[in-house]
Structure 1
Amino acid sequence: MNKLKLGWLKLTEWLTPPRKIIEVHDELPPSKLPTRDLFLLREDGEAWSVIMRCPCGCGHPVELPLIHEAHPHWTLQVDKKGHPTLAPSVWRREGCRAHYFLRGGKVVWV
């Protein structure tokens, strides 16, 4: 990602409100993803995956498994305002190759 685009993404992230979690109690992810927010997929009360659009602007879906049996897997924390934090970082190795953290609903670019 070039420096100009990265600078634009950082500025946009600073100016926009934090992302929030939208819980979905279904087996399949919704066909249409929101522009900024994340879907938390639950089945039988257990959170198993988070899906969102890539924040770089490419629009590709990013699905992150939360279950410990999956490798790799992520952990999700949601604060009282509904702002998500994911660990570890998200690094798309193909396509746009975006690399970022999600902290308190805000993308922190690497």
Structure 2
Amino acid sequence: MVVVEGDMLPKKLPLWNLVVAREDDEDWSVGLRCPCGCGQRLEMLLLKDMKPRWDISVNPRGHVSVHPSVWVREGCKSHFWVRAGKIVWCE
């Protein structure tokens, strides 16, 4: 996981890492490139008052999980979980 300061994610996201936009110790959003390989930029809001919204957690080994699942409704239609730093595809 890479943390960037500010309320916006960078325009270009890395290939293999999640990026968290954090401002004043508050997480705003998490982003990643679609793991199916299509390259689509995915951004999930983390702010408590937003809907839909996601949560992130980091286990003691430093592996990130994202809750709930990520479902790409347009384009590749990927549906997956990020669990302990790994992509788990939904059937």
Q: Identify the TM-score tier after normalising by the shorter chain.
A: over 0.9
Contact kept? 2:54, 2:66, Cα under 8 Å = yes
Measured in 1, the distance between the counterparts of 2:80 and 2:23 equals 27
**TM-score normalised by length of structure 2:** 0.93
**Which structure is larger by alpha-carbon Rg, 1 or 2?**
1
Task: Please identify which structure carries the higher helix content.
Answer: 1
**TM-score normalised by length of structure 1:** 0.78
> Which residue number corresponds to residue 12 of structure 2?
32
Within the candidate set 71, 87, 91, 1:91 is matched to: 71
> Which residue number corresponds to residue 41 of structure 2?
61
Measured in 2, the distance between the counterparts of 1:77 and 1:38 equals 12
> Which residue number corresponds to residue 8 of structure 1?
none
Q: Tell me how far 1:32 sits from its aligned partner.
A: 1.8
> Which residue number corresponds to residue 23 of structure 2?
43
Q: 1:104 aligned to 2:74?
A: no
How many residues are treated as equivalent by the alignment?
90
CA RMSD of aligned residues (A): 1.0
